Amino acid sequence: MNKILIIDDEEHMCWALEKGLRQEGYHVLTTTRAREGLELIRKETPSLVILDLKMPELDGLEVLLRAKDLLPKLPVIMITAHGTIDTAIEAMKLGATDYITKPFDLDELKLVVKQALMVSQLQEEVSFLRSELNKKYGQIIGNSQVIQDVCALIEKVADSNATVLITGESGTGKEVTALSIHQLSSRRDKPFVPINCAALPESLLESELFGHEKGAFTGAVARKLGRFELANQGTLFLDEVTEMPLSMQVKLLRVLQEKQFERVGGTESIKVDVRVIAATNRDPVECIRKGTFREDLYYRLNVLPIHLPPLRERSEDIPLLVMHFLQKFNPSQEQLISPEAMTLLKAYQWPGNIRELQNVIERAVILSQGQEIKPRHLPKEIQKLDSDKGKAAQGLIINFPDDGISFEEVEKELIIKALAKSNGNQTRAAQLLGITRSALLYRAQKYQIKL
């Protein structure tokens, strides 16, 4: 409950304000003495102060300055007569949140108080979220259990020389994870060299990985060092490794086993000390079954597996990610996002994961022009969640039998129907139910539902 302190030398004003604000559910403290008010600020740490500008014991501006010394972020609303508006503006420069002139309407004051408390709360959340961003895993952002498990695993595997295979949907942060492993390892001062195996044809991919000698092929006018040589004593990140042609997979497997290779067109064996981290957005086992990925290469890469969950399975991390991207795209000011917009972002399923969220926030920053981001600044597919939710609520009809209903039986039946509708796809079933996949698994186990 928000605690409001009223400091005004007129007893009837304190009484009227206390009565009106208590009706709004606030806990209200009052005093007619400025010095006692400062003592209450120190002892009670109120959420907001309503302060009269003209008082006999201490001037309101002096009280404001001392209050800000005690609690720098304390919202203070000044009460002033018409003749002292210039002084009220001076109070705003000294840190007052707002001012209201006498005589005033009580409803007007309630609105000013509500807005001041909302802004204060948002600023506290911004400060908290920014502090969270500065934790040990600066690259990997999130407080959810699944992402903390990933962070703990990264710390365990970072200083090993064993290969790592990172799996996860597109946009979940596989390269960021690979970079975090490198930065936490003893190789952190050596090169981190990434290459996207899906972006290059086979002929160019071989040259990019292993380099080539002058004259090795048409256009090879000089010797070129490959990524393995460039990453010597550091880390080589092979993104989308399952897209690598089979013939190149054989050559990669040989390098991983023997720690040496020859440049294209060369005969000299080159030894390297490289830690390899690979990643894919596909299911490697399914790729093996289809014959597009070598089983022996899979086992050679999958020594230390790390799976990154999709964003929809860790929606509690969205506020932290949003604040990170707001900082990135608008570093010159503390831009806020409305609670309504944040609710929509947390409800969206994010098929493009973190990369899609980043694009949405960049767009919202541009459209809001530095003002608070609201639902209208978000893409249409996210805005429509509000109307879809309303339609769903209107269409939901539950008939209660006279002898009551078992909530657990209803929940069990909903899970069974969601799994049936999704053809057993657990992630899709969780989406239909509006819960995380981990929550679905817990409930399925609870009700002994076979998955």
> pLDDT tens, 56-65?
888 888 999 9
Assigned domain for 229 exists: yes
Q: What's the CATH number where 252 sits? A: 3.40.50.300
pLDDT of residue 409: 78
Closest CA to 177 of 273, 298, 256, 278: 278
Question: Are the beta carbons of 361 and 329 closer than 8 angstroms?
Answer: yes
Please state, in angstroms and rounded to a whole number, the distance separating the CA atoms of residues 310 and 245. 27
Assigned domain for 223 exists: yes
* Displacement of CA 259 from its chain's centroid (Å): 39
Tokens standing for residue 21: 């604000």
Find out whether 239 and 292 touch, Cβ atoms under 8 Å.
no
Residues 216/312, Cβ–Cβ less than 8 Å: no
pLDDT at 84 over 70: no
Same domain, 261 and 369: no
- 64 in the same domain as 180: no
Q: Are residues 12 and 26 in the same domain?
A: yes
221 with 360, same domain: the answer is: no
Contact between residue 239 and residue 174 where contact means Cβ atoms under 8 Å apart: yes
167 shares a domain with 40: no
Model confidence at 136: pLDDT above 60: no
**In-domain check, residue 401:** no
Domain CATH code at residue 434 = 1.10.10.60
- Average confidence (pLDDT) over 174-185: 92
Least confident among 90-104, 315-329, 388-402: 388-402
Work out the pLDDT band at 125, boundaries 50, 70, 90. Answer: low
**Would you state the pLDDT for residue 128?**
59
Residue 140 falls inside a structural domain: no
Name the domain boundary from 283, 308, 333: 308
Indicate if 79 and 171 belong to the same structural domain: no
Does residue 133 register a pLDDT over 90?
no
Contact 438, 146 (CB under 8 A): yes
At 78, is the secondary structure helix, strand, or coil? strand
Q: Report the pLDDT value the prediction gives residue 432, as an integer from 0 to 100.
A: 80
Q: Do residues 54 and 191 share a domain?
A: no
Is 172 in the same domain as 303?
yes
φ/ψ of residue 50, rounded to 5: -105, 120
Evaluated on CA atoms 427, 430, 435, 439, the torsion sign reads: negative
| 95 band by pLDDT with thresholds 50, 70 and 90 | confident
- Average the pLDDT over 84-100 and give the result: 80
Residue 280 lies in a domain: yes
Could you tell me if residue 144 is inside a domain? no
Q: Does the structure show a pLDDT above 60 at 105?
A: yes
Confidence of residue 34 (pLDDT cuts 50, 70, 90): very high
Computed on alpha carbons and rounded to an integer, the radius of gyration of the chain in Å comes to 30
Are 44 and 107 contained in the same domain?
Answer: yes
Residue 119 or residue 152, greater confidence: 152
301 and 318 fall within a common domain: no
Looking at every residue in the chain, the average pLDDT score rounds to: 86
Domain residues for the domain of 225 are 150-308
Q: Are residues 273 and 323 in the same domain?
A: no
CA distance 210 to 222: 14
Number of structural domains found in the chain: 4
Residue 137 inside a domain? The answer is: no
Does position 399 have pLDDT exceeding 70, yes or no? no
CATH number assigned to the domain comprising residue 84: 3.40.50.2300
* 6-15, 83-92, 154-163, 237-246, range with the lowest pLDDT: 83-92
Confidence at 403, pLDDT banded by 50, 70, 90: low
Any idea which of 63-67, 76-80, 383-387 has the lowest mean pLDDT? 383-387
Residue 213's Cβ-side half-sphere holds a number of Cα atoms within 13 Å equal to 11
Average pLDDT over residues 22-40: 92
Let me know whether 213 and 347 are in one domain. no
pLDDT tens digits, 306-323: 999 999 989 899 998 998
Instruction: Judge whether 29 lies within some domain.
Output: yes
